[in-house]
Amino acid sequence: MLEQHNFPSQKQIELLQVLNYALCVKHYPQDICSILDRKIQLLKLSADTPQNNNETDKAKRTLKVTTDALFAILKKAGLVTENDNTKIPKLISYLTNFSAEQIRQRLSNPDELTSYHRPEIENINNIFKELNSNISISYNKHR
């Protein structure tokens, strides 16, 4: 996801290190922390090699899918509680540069994702799968 925002590799590494630290402090299962460690190592290796990925350039990211994906990760990590109406949107806003208020509204009233979001959802679900995560995002295939 961070790649799609055209964050430099170093910034991606720093953000993933912060997320990894938060998960490890919360004593989240080691497999998730090790997945993030591997991703950080891969980013460090590829930071020296500029890549031209047309697929990433064409990818469109929406607030809805991005928010849902990050919320699923944070929920799986046990960082989400029922009264996190401002803290979670603030974190997601920081990571994505989307409006914290729009994210808060999205989390308060989660609209159903539709087939319009299919390519983006398939992309994020493939990323989750590559990370050996059982997290996935779904959409209404009939809308």
Taking 50 as the pLDDT cut, the residues of the chain under it are: 51-58
Question: What would the pLDDT profile of 36-51 be if each residue is shown by its tens digit?
Answer: 778 878 777 776 555 4
pLDDT, residue 11, reads 77
Is the CB of residue 139 less than 8 Å from the CB of residue 117? yes
Is the CB of residue 94 less than 8 Å from the CB of residue 5? no
Long-range contacts of 34-38 (CB under 8 A, 24+ apart): 35/131, 35/132, 35/133
pLDDT, residue 49, reads 54
pLDDT, residue 55, reads 46
pLDDT, residue 58, reads 46
Mean pLDDT of the chain: 80
Question: What would the pLDDT profile of 74-86 be if each residue is shown by its tens digit?
Answer: 888 888 877 667 8
Is the CB of residue 104 less than 8 Å from the CB of residue 86? yes
Count of other CB atoms within 10 angstroms of residue 47: 13
